[in-house]
Structure 1
Amino acid sequence: MLKYLRGPTSQCCKCCKSSRLATILWVCGVLLFLVIVGGFIRSKIPRKIICSNEASQAFLDELCHNYTVGVASGSLCEPLCTGKIVYRECLGHGVTPHVLKANFQGEEIILKVKIIMEKQLELNPAHSLRFNREYFEKSAKLQYSKFILDDKTKVNKKVFDYVYSECANQDGILPYQKMWYCQSLLGREFLLSILLKDTNSLPKIYGTCGNVFAVENTPDEKLEGSLIDGRSWSTRARLGLGLLDMIEKLDNTPYGTLYLCDIRFPNFGAVKVGSDYVVKPIDLDFTWLPAQMKQVMIGVSNKTCHTDEHCHYQACLSRCNYKTGYCEPDTYSNNLVSICRMIFTTNAKVLKYGIFDKDLPVNFQSRLTILLKKCSLPSVTPWPRTSPELMKELRAVLRASIHSNNL
């Protein structure tokens, strides 16, 4: 009898042990999966690596050495390498210095470093290849046209005059080594800074040295989203007025609208002038004049869509053609729509909050809410140009709210 009872009990124990083992293995498998997935997700989260002061100073020392031996040139090399420009700190963007802060003539400036991509710089000042202005224009025209104007538009001679004067020797000859330094500058941000330098719509450009160009410091801290909660209504309203002024300038450049497609708080800087703020874009990597904007949206038009939200290039939106199921290439949102959606409010659900999402003055809450909805979600098809009437109404309400708040 006991033998008979022991058999099933033994079987049960084996089953229990097997079940427990299976459970343990299953739990371990789940934990391993979570660890792997967690590591993958963490690897996809961008990390802001702050470059060191040592690396920054080493870079500047090397640049000045190249200037001394005749390899690098530019109007800022002499002040940079004789102590007139004083390095302060590295603002980051990688393990190598890309954005540096410095002092020059009593003002803070930003040094933007462009990486030499195509070839290793040959540090031999006696190299035989030397280029003239005509060769430089031919080699630079492709990059200029790609980033700034299309081939049908007359190339702006002032841009080439400025770049060539920064890069070439005093005799008007451009040595081979300086050519590679100079070509590293020919990206959208540098070229736009020169093209629009007389419009006061972008940070002022001071000059170059090698693969570095300097602009005025327009700090982004005042528009930092995480700090908006602690700002008074008057401050937020004045920042909003500064952004509206910026939109008006960018909509009316001599070359047409400069479209902003990367709308984030850190991409705008504000400087206080009296009691008001002057706001400027400080990262131009995803900004486009009309010819290039159209080409960008033609690329978007290859996408199938079910709603307008499927038709976008970052913050620049197109319309969905519901009949064809494809995005429209010839119509896209204006800068006011983008700023309203991404900075003033959070309808796009990209940021935690906008500067006008919370704590609106009671007397102006209803009117301002209507205007913000109107400018961030326009119902008109196709997308309209920036409405002067809407801009005027927004300005009037913001100014009246500031006045009321100060009483």
Structure 2
Amino acid sequence: MSFLEGLRGALFSLRTNKLRTGLTMLGIIIGIAAVIAVVTIGLGGKAAIMQEMEKSGVNLFVLYAKTVGQTGQAEGARLTIQDGESLKQALPQVKMLLPASIEYTALEVNQKRSSAMIVGTTPEFAELRRRDISQGRFFSEEEFTAGRRVVVIDETLRDSLFGAGNPLGQQVIVQNVPCRVIGILAQDKSSFAQFDVGPKNAYAYIPWGTWSDIFHSTRVDQLEGATYQEADLESAISSAKRILDVRHGTTNQYEAYNVQQLVQSANKITRILTSIIGLVAGISLLVGGIGIMNIMLVSVTERTREIGLRKAVGAKERDILTQFLLEAVVLSLIGGIMGIALGIGSALLVAYLLSWPPLLSGWAILFAVSFSLGVGLFFGFYPALKAAKLEPITALRYE
């Protein structure tokens, strides 16, 4: 029997029992679709994370004392403006380093009150964080140096204090000190926003000197910076922590966070989720393979007389074995192809809904095809061998 004849026979047999064939393939279809969809969605998710990182900059970092925000923080461990200046001079690989002092308090406009995080920083803040200005501007170097009482608020604070009105030029009261609104920061959608100290609230930004005067404090909660190159990030952070310990006479009292750590955490979570869903998909494929074996055994029983007749007219064991193996392989391959189509379609749909880049994995598709073929061969071999070993006389007498 030629391969082509065996293939025709396999297709005819599968067409004869369409419902049973479809139900048998279901496990293979779901398993293969799940594998491809999980891998593709995972790749798209990683690419989306990297795109988000690039928006905020993969070379950004935040330095802070481990005791920041704690009651009774030792004075000697607190960061200072001078720390930032010293680090900029000592670390040539650092492109930018600026202080950030943060206090949670209420702002008032015409008897309207709204609480916000008041951040004292420098004019480079918007550039460092790559924040867009939706209205007005950020404060200038001259305003920073002179300690002008100006403030830049975010859109959340604008909406709560001014509603639909124009806030530019208006006065807001911070701790009984009037500050003039000069700009509105667009909503921070970058991943770097999570580095902010304190709860997720509305934010207002003022020159650091003004912040220090209003809150009667010279403390610095964190130093935010960026290196010229991503490759210098880890060495710069390590050197900065060592320098701070030397300056303050402490040991291992300073910590840093950077975007790369966020990428690693996100990738770790993605890998765990992919592994879990992949395991479920593998179980589905195993169930599908067992289903193929079960159906093929039923098929052997149903076609016992046919097998006996074919052997009686000269068919060899090899021909019978090939016939049933081909049926199992075709069954799993068709299920695999349908699963590939379903998996790609599902992944593309999810990528479209989440605005992720649709990254199809060639190796996942190749694995799916190979696995489908392997399932057919592995789970179809025993039923095919059982059919091939039937004695012609016994098979012909079978009722």
TM-score category of the 2 structures, normalised to the smaller one:
under 0.3
Larger CA Rg, structure 1 vs 2: 2
- Calculate the TM-score normalised by the size of structure 1: 0.23
Structure with the largest fraction of helix? 2
The structure, 1 or 2, with the larger RCO (C-alpha pairs under 8 Å, 6+ apart) is 2
- Calculate the TM-score normalised by the size of structure 2: 0.23
